[in-house]
Structure 1
Amino acid sequence: MAETRDLRISNAVVLPEADLEEQFIRASGPGGQNVNKVSSAVQLRFLAGRCEAISPEVKRRLHRLAGQRATKDGDVLIEASRFRSQERNREDARERLADLVREALRPPPPPRKKTRPSKGAVERRIKEKKGRSKIKAMRRSVGD
């Protein structure tokens, strides 16, 4: 039985392997001869525009959360080159994508309702300010 490379986000959401594209590239930075010879970095492209596992609302939030990692086509591109091995970079990219989708699945908090202080609170504040003003006025010299 072949192993499926579907990406499990939660119990309810699984991103199908068909909507994920992996491309291996050469990583930059330190690593000596290994970095010049081995394509250990991974570019993981999530084809969110055509994915049916998530709703259009979640896709919009995902696109906004992805920022510069989102393309005009609605894809999300994750690059991982933190580790020396290709397999660990692949796992890192998939986990970062999963975290991003989990964040997009969470509904936004309800908008904050503006509140006004009660009439009594306003009066107490004004009374306190006047009292403080009187105290400071008493400290001034008579010539002022």
Structure 2
Amino acid sequence: MLIVTPSIAIPDSELIERFTRADGPGGQHVNRTESAVELRFDVANSPSLPEAVRERLLAKSDRRMTDAGTLVIQARRFRDQARNRDDARERLVEIIHAATLVAKKRVATKPTRASKERRLAGKSQRSQTKKTRSRDWSRE
């Protein structure tokens, strides 16, 4: 059982883990052991997720999300399978937890009159500075 929040828990039966050989340091040992973990979680068809969280996860343009709505997490940071497995599960929890938080609506604002005037004053100042740099070619 993977507990994301007090109200969201994902049973192990919804998680698909595949173990592969990892690249990186480890000598000959790395060629024989399957320490890398590929964790798959079907977001689109999971009964454990509330509808709002599911929609936010599917709406995210994340490269780890397949077209079918499956979230694929690859963990190969550590040399042993157990630590990579825990790492993949922790990252899944972080992704789902981030989707539970609702982003605040942006309140549209207008620039103040003073800020507009400061911007225009700065533009004219820069314009004047650039004008003084140029040579007057008509006199030569």
Same-fold status (TM-score > 0.5): yes
1:10 equivalenced with 2:5 (yes/no): yes
- Which amino acid in structure 2 is aligned with residue 58 of structure 1? V
Query: Following superposition of structure 1 onto structure 2, how do residues 20-35 of structure 1 map, counting pairs within 5 Å?
Result: 20-35=15-30
Whether the 8 Å CA contact 2:38–2:75 is kept in 1: the answer is yes
| Percent pairwise identity | 35
- Which amino acid in structure 2 is aligned with residue 91 of structure 1? D
TM-score for both structures, normalised by structure 2: 0.77
1:115 equivalenced with 2:83 (yes/no): no
Whether the 8 Å CA contact 1:66–1:100 is kept in 2: the answer is no
Provide, for residues 17-50 of structure 1, a one-character-per-residue CA deviation record: whole Å limited to 9, x for no partner: 2211111111112211111000011000011111
**Alpha-carbon offset, residue 95 of structure 1:** 0.2
Partner of 1:46: 41
Q: Any runs of at least 4 consecutive aligned residues in structure 1 with deviations exceeding 6 A, and if so which?
A: none
Return 21-30 or 93-102, whichever deviates more. Answer: 21-30
Query: Following superposition of structure 1 onto structure 2, how do residues 80-119 of structure 1 map, counting pairs within 5 Å?
Result: 80-117=75-112
Return 107-116 or 29-38, whichever deviates more. Answer: 107-116
**Alpha-carbon offset, residue 86 of structure 1:** 0.5
- Evaluate the alpha carbon distance shift between residue 123 and residue 97 of structure 1 in structure 2; reply closer, same or farther with a 3 A threshold: closer
Residue 68 of structure 1, aligned match among 44, 63, 69: 63
Whether the 8 Å CA contact 1:48–1:59 is kept in 2: the answer is yes
- Give the root-mean-square deviation of aligned CA atoms: 2.6
Provide, for residues 40-61 of structure 1, a one-character-per-residue CA deviation record: whole Å limited to 9, x for no partner: 1100001111112222332232
- Which amino acid in structure 2 is aligned with residue 114 of structure 1? T
- Which amino acid in structure 1 is aligned with residue 93 of structure 2? A
TM-score for both structures, normalised by structure 1: 0.75
- Evaluate the alpha carbon distance shift between residue 125 and residue 69 of structure 1 in structure 2; reply closer, same or farther with a 3 A threshold: closer
Residue 78 of structure 1, aligned match among 70, 73, 81: 73
Counterpart CA distance in 2 for 1:111 and 1:44 is 35
